[in-house]
Structure 1
Amino acid sequence: MTEPRTTALYERHAALGASFTDFGGWSMPVRYSSDLAEHHAVRTAAGLFDISHMALFGVGGPQREEYLAYALAFDPSALKLSRAKYTMILTPEGGIIDDLIVTRSAEDQFLVVANAGNRDAVRAALQERLEGFDAMLIELDDALIAVQGPRAREILQQTSGLVHDDSLAMGHTLDTLPYYAAMGMRFGESAVLVSRTGYTGEDGFEISVDADLAVSLWDALLDAGQPLGLVPAGLASRDTLRLEAGMPLYGHELSRDIVPAQAGLGRVVPLKTKTADFVGRQALEADVPADAPVLVGLVSEGKRAGRAGYAVLHGDERVGEITSGALSPTLGHPIAMAFVSPGVSEPGTELDIDVRGTRIRATVTALPFYRRAQ
């Protein structure tokens, strides 16, 4: 059995008392203190996450745009310098290999960020689709560190050694950087890429840094942030945060058996605005079967939450299955996402969740469950 990989920050996590879990072949911190404390810190101040298990690919070369237009379900020509886009890489049948974030990180280069558990699948698909294009694909080994929460920008601004550099900033400052955009900064003598993106439903930043500098940057962020309420946060709180924000998790809400429209992500795929032929396009242009399950949100009362795999019932009929569920730390009641039959997917529809033999009433609701104050 292969031992899980570790990030450059593993020793820091261990020293902070983290509990670890195997996630996508990586030994990652699941929590440091308590799931609830870390969750609430992100909602009220900030959390510090190691996300170095994510897969990073650089794309360049003369035909980089044509290549990405074919390989992914998005239009790279519409992506301006420094801007990022949420997109997908699909199978020829229209199923989802992975959801991605693509950033035009330089005039002549794109950065593609994929999920840890899909690293091999994404790499294989990207390499296979290179054939016939004068483009280059490079797998990067940078570390990724995320600061998420309402005080995230303030923390970055007070981090020792992290400084603005006009030659890297692509016209932005931390004060003006838009959501889903990136800018270069300098940490010590090295350039880092700071993206205003995240997976928590809060404002925040994800920083790509040379792995050799990961520990120094982590320590500097922690030193700056702890007086402002920053805490190290693990995968458990990251999961409840993204669930509250209605963000899909691959292997739960997304898979090769699901097309984007079923997961409420049809808008992500530019069938009407993108003219290029991309892998999966023809399958998506065909109508999704009328009885194909669709993703909905479910809310219920009490404290017993539906979990992944639990049946969703309408009367005596099983009409779906929970994909993710938890007792929401922020809202104080159970929430879940589920794929259900289209006929019972309208908000306000009353359904039941089979929670270990007990029927718990749940109401269909629009996603997300939680939206941060602007």
Structure 2
Amino acid sequence: MIERFRVAPGAVVAVTVTGGDRFEVIDRYGRQPVEMTVLAADPRAVCPSAPDSPATVLRSLVAGPDENGYAAGRILALLSRHVDQDRARATRLFDTDSAAGSRLGFAVDGDAVVLIAAPADPMDISVDEPNPPSEVMVDVHRARPMPVGQRELPAPLAEPLWDMRIDACTASSYEIRAGQFVQIIDVQGRQCSDFLAFDARGLVAGREYGLDATTTRTIGGGAYPQPGLFGKFFDGRAQPLVEVVRDTVGRHDTFALACTAKYYADFGYPGHVNCTDNFNATLSRFGVSARTGWPALNLFYNTAFDAAHQLTSDEPWSRPGDYVMLRACTDLVCASSACPDDIDPANGWTPTDIHIRVYDSTRRFSVAVGHRLTPDSEPVLTKPTAFAARTGALTSNFTEYQGYWLPNSFDSHGPQQEYWACRERVAVMDLSALRKFEVTGPDAEALLQATLTRDIRRLSRGQVVYSAMCTESGGVIDDCTVLRLSDTNFRFIGGDPHDGLWLRTQAERLGLHQVWIKDSTDQMHNIAVQGPASRDVLAGLIWSAPTQPDLGDLGWFRFLIGRLGGPDGIALLVSRTGYSGELGYELWVHPRDAETLWDAVWLAGEPHGLVPLGMEALEMLRVESGLIAAGHEFDDQIDPFEAGIGFTVPLKSKSDDFVGRAALVERKAHPQRALVGLRLDGNETAAHGDGVHIGRVQVGVITSGVRSPILGTSIALCRMAIQHTEPGTRVEIGKLDGYRKRIGATVTTFPFYDPDKTRPRS
């Protein structure tokens, strides 16, 4: 059994080892130096490890009040027992040419704490061969493996006020004060934990004001609150009791009761211990009346309503160490359980423990959802972009998008005003959630040629190309743009964090060993400046060297590397690309320079009526312009022809083979569906997933629908059976159950707005 630790770029991880253990340090994506410092009474405890360089990451650690500062403080406390921080030294592992997956093994002869650090120098975007810092993995092989079911708890996020273990099949009650945080941890994974909360002052007055799932769903509009704008749980008075701050699982139950005596008795297990009786016992000391069934927030439980509207359940989604963190909105009496259900998959058939940690109200934790890149990956929490301080001053309406918080709309403007600013003047939007990957090395071109539908060999330095990336069966994994920085260096920009994993998998399959695929998303954040006045806004801001194009001469789908304001300004990359259907540019900088860029653009844009633009307005812009989105127009079951981007598949001019080519040849020869536009009768809008009918027969499905401000009508994109794609064909969009309400519509071509794309070309 292997214990695996992830070391994020710029971070340090402490791994405790004992004699007889062995461990491997893995440069997962290549070209990433590592600093290893061994803290032990015997300097030969880890072999081979001879300190040969300064421990730069350890020397720069600073303890602080936030979560990262608390983790740094724990590392520094370990370090201080052995050496002064400013004199810390390390063994340097790997270098800037190490191959992806490189491993170095070490034997452990004595007890030690090994500090593994991944230095993270900022990526220079002005060079042809950028090398973003990347994560490192540590695999520990124990001489005496920890018994199954005895996992260590994850480290505290801050200094806890107190900890409490809730043993399997029991429940406990506790009090927390307004503003305090409670972290509910699934210790072993796949273990339900019911949660109850009551207004403490109400209980003192003899009134029970507890969590009310129906009120919460009505106010928030979701099955259960998630971190973000609609993250609060309310009582029956519509008063907030708790707010969800973090959730590494993302799926819970608020539909059913905590398990009851009746449930087990009806199943044939009379007298079975149950959460309801456990809650009744532990809450009695607060004067809470006993019930035969408690409606609870059942954390980690996996329930859903199926197509027949039946409540279904399965094993919980949670993994060991997953947690939900809540903040008390008022003084509370709470109760948590470790559910005893062992007669169905509710707890993976084996009830285990739940752990509670409470943190002081002075602590600050980021609001976040956990995402896993692969099933065995550690969850990565939602991040703010580098522009968040500027956009956050203009709105509190943020939405979680692919692991980042992005503005939905802006308080002093709203979606319609933001939309019109882009169509008529100029708007600025944060698109930092786009995933960037540096694809470099002698085999870089060969990899992209073999995995993308476009002919990458035709791509010139300084040029951008839009492409699809497909599966063997022709489905679209993602759409993307690719920038050629040099003969052997490319920048891949897509929307899905899995893109890099797919590229690495294909490189391994093809035997392309001289290529590095490194995630540069957190080394390059970007804004888009879009609209007819975008060139005028940027004209005085962007300086470029004589070897680079001038902004005024930059062609459509071209880019330049320049400076902001002059030759001594911050480095940035400017591409003449966008997602609005207007003349526009995207500006890419290192996150440390993001606020400087925003301020400069904001100031230059004021005379032109610059307005910030959020996701709601962007949706109207992109549907009008016939631009596709993942999860709407395409997924890995939909080919590029069906998704409306068949132009990205030059089967005649690209003779080289690529992933999915054979399937796409067949699909193009025998098309089944195509993307069309629809103009709706009246002012109602269509929604993604609505069926499109001729009579009783469904002939298509809506992929995206909006009310078009500039056209004054409702429009939609529709994946339609090829037999009904002729413009002018009359169809009906099914609402309700698809048959009890119909909206008439007419098939049309798209883009609906500026079909010849004269505006972005201008």
TM-score between both structures, scaled by the size of structure 2: 0.47
Distance change in 2, residues 1:278/1:307 (3 Å): same
Structure 1 residue 266 displacement after superposition: 2.1
**Contact 1:105/1:182 (<8 A) preserved:** no
- Name the residue aligned to 2:386: 8
Inter-partner Cα distance in structure 2 for 1:287 and 1:186? 46
Structure 1 residue 189 displacement after superposition: 3.7
Inter-partner Cα distance in structure 1 for 2:634 and 2:708? 21
Inter-partner Cα distance in structure 2 for 1:289 and 1:182? 36
Distance change in 2, residues 1:291/1:277 (3 Å): closer
Structure 1 position 89 matched with structure 2 position 469: yes
Distance change in 2, residues 1:95/1:287 (3 Å): closer
Inter-partner Cα distance in structure 2 for 1:355 and 1:367? 23
Inter-partner Cα distance in structure 2 for 1:124 and 1:138? 10
Structure 2 gap ranges (5+): 1-246, 249-367, 369-381
- Paired amino acid for 2:729: T
Inter-partner Cα distance in structure 1 for 2:402 and 2:641? 26
**Contact 1:98/1:114 (<8 A) preserved:** yes
Aligned length: 366
Out of 76-85 and 356-365, give the one that drifted further: 356-365
Match 1:367 to one of 732, 750, 759 = 750
Inter-partner Cα distance in structure 2 for 1:90 and 1:287? 13
Cα deviation digits, residues 39-77 of structure 1 (max 9, x gap)? 000000111011111111111211221121112222211
- Name the residue aligned to 1:176: 553
Describe the SS at the equivalent of 1:129: helix
- Paired amino acid for 1:368: P
- Paired amino acid for 1:96: V
Aligned identity (percent) is 36
- Name the residue aligned to 1:236: 616
Structure 1 residue 84 displacement after superposition: 0.8
- Name the residue aligned to 1:29: 407
- Paired amino acid for 1:123: G
- Name the residue aligned to 2:533: 151
**Contact 2:443/2:488 (<8 A) preserved:** no
**Contact 2:699/2:720 (<8 A) preserved:** yes
Inter-partner Cα distance in structure 2 for 1:238 and 1:106? 32
Cα deviation digits, residues 142-178 of structure 1 (max 9, x gap)? 111110000001111133xx322224x1xx2111111
TM-score between both structures, scaled by the size of structure 1: 0.94
Structure 1 gap ranges (5+): none
Inter-partner Cα distance in structure 1 for 2:407 and 2:500? 25
Cα deviation digits, residues 263-307 of structure 1 (max 9, x gap)? 232221122111222111121122458572221100123211111
- Paired amino acid for 1:76: I
**Contact 2:537/2:604 (<8 A) preserved:** yes
Q: Which runs of 4 or more aligned residues in structure 1 lie more than 3 Å from their structure 2 counterparts after TM superposition?
A: 287-291
Describe the SS at the equivalent of 1:166: coil
Inter-partner Cα distance in structure 2 for 1:107 and 1:182? 16
Describe the SS at the equivalent of 1:304: coil
**Contact 2:472/2:660 (<8 A) preserved:** yes
Distance change in 2, residues 1:190/1:109 (3 Å): farther
Cα deviation digits, residues 97-130 of structure 1 (max 9, x gap)? 0000011123432111011xx11x2111011122
Describe the SS at the equivalent of 2:408: strand
Inter-partner Cα distance in structure 2 for 1:20 and 1:68? 34
Structure 1 residue 81 displacement after superposition: 1.3
Matches within 5 A, 1:319-358: 319-356=699-736, 357-358=740-741
- Paired amino acid for 2:556: Y
**Contact 1:264/1:295 (<8 A) preserved:** yes
Describe the SS at the equivalent of 2:622: helix
Structure 1 residue 25 displacement after superposition: 2.1
Distance change in 2, residues 1:154/1:254 (3 Å): same
Structure 1 position 127 matched with structure 2 position 477: no
Distance change in 2, residues 1:16/1:288 (3 Å): same
Describe the SS at the equivalent of 1:92: coil
Structure 1 residue 190 displacement after superposition: 3.3
- Paired amino acid for 1:258: I
- Name the residue aligned to 1:106: 486
